[in-house]
Amino acid sequence: MNNNKNSTLSVSQRLQSILAKNWAILFTLIIILIFSFTGKRFFQLANFQNILHLSTIYLLLTASETFVIITGGIDLSVGFVMGLSSVLSAKIIELLHAANFPPALSISIGSIVALIVCIIPGLINGVLITKYKVPPFIATLGMMGIANGMALIISEGFPVAYLPRVLPNIGNSYLIYILPGKAISFFSKPKGIAGEEIKELIRIIPNSLIFISIIIFILWHILKNTKFGQHTYAIGGSMDAAVRAGINTNKHLIIIYVLSSFLAGLAGVFYVFQTGIGIYTSFGAMYELLAIAGVVIGGASLMGGKGGIIGSVIGVFLLGVIENGLHLSGVDPFFRYIAVGLILIVAVIIDQSFPDLL
């Protein structure tokens, strides 16, 4: 009988399986090595922090897509919900700022309102998918258009730009600043430095890294260690099994889509902090595609039931390193799209050709 599949695995099969599971990490390390030679100022603390900083919104979108894809669904609306959240929060902050509200208050109100509003697209997606049996692809495709239209209406097609100047300072600051031998400070540059000294300033740990680490840790914990996470995998593995095990799958899926659009909303608010303006998502930004690519590179299957937060983080990091490394190596930015497309396809081929044996 085929009782002991596990023990009959040969060494080479095991090796292949381990390689297939961890290729994304290996590949990332290899391209980091290559870019270290080809890229100007690539292998530097400042550059890696830069990659992480710019990956923040992708990490949020990819994490949200991870939950959805594990259930066997897909959320195409994340990129445009992010744009909606960005212009909505910025618009509120702008109006309150113009009415002479203190910056802290106007920023808090704008951010919180936008986050709450961004629950709505997810709620609608979830209800459409569970109660009305609309396929996730269609429901979220519709929501993508709606969110885009709302964002354009709110912003009237222009960036929302008259915001408190403290915003980008918060979003782009570092935890520690060191001026070698002279000064050290936290959260803002040491006072009274200018000119040449700025160039010597060493910045360590961007605020965005602290922020995203906390969020990612919480999401990882939810997926890996909690009942909610377990049920998410069960739904993706077998909807029938989940239903018969007494899991309220409709409620669970609605929460998943709400979580997804909430995280997209968080990405939009963060984007305002990072850039200092609120801007709608342009067509061609392809946030949702990059998010899906990150998840798939991280080992998830669009059939559901597979994947994880750590894999997705590696996927995002891989895409970030490629973009940054190609840029610093002087490669035309258009090639980046080709690279991402190729890696996405390779990821799926690897997933298909090496079934999980371990």
Q: Give the interface with other proteins as residue ranges (CB under 8 A).
A: 1-7, 221, 225-227, 230-231, 233-234, 236-238, 240-242, 244-247, 305-306, 356-357
Name residue, tokens 């392809």. Answer: 286
User: Toward other proteins, which CB reaches closer, 2 or 100?
Assistant: 2
Q: Which two tokens stand for residue 268?
A: 């939009």
**Structure tokens given for 84:** 């909606």
Smaller CB separation from other proteins, 201 or 357: 357
Q: Is the CB of residue 305 less than 8 Å from the CB of residue 292? A: no
Tokens 């998502």 -> residue: 281
Token pair in block for residue 355: 């079934």
Distance of alpha carbon 164 from alpha carbon 107, whole angstroms: 8
For the chain, the first-to-last Cα distance in angstroms comes to 19
Instruction: Give bridge partners of residue 206 from the DSSP assignment.
Output: 174
Amino acid at 261: S
CA distance 269 to 253: 24
The nearest distance, CB 63 to other proteins, in angstroms, is: 19
Smallest gap from residue 311 Cβ to other proteins (A)? 14
In the bound complex, what is the minimum distance in angstroms from residue 98's beta carbon to other proteins?
A: 42
Output 167 or 300, the one with its CB closest to other proteins.
300
We find the least distance from the C-beta atom of residue 70 to other proteins, in angstroms, to be: 9
| C-beta of 214 vs 245, nearer to other proteins | 245
CA gyration radius for the chain?
Answer: 22
Q: Which is nearer to other proteins, 3 or 10 (CB)?
A: 3
Tell me how far, at minimum, the Cβ of 246 lies from other proteins, in Å.
4
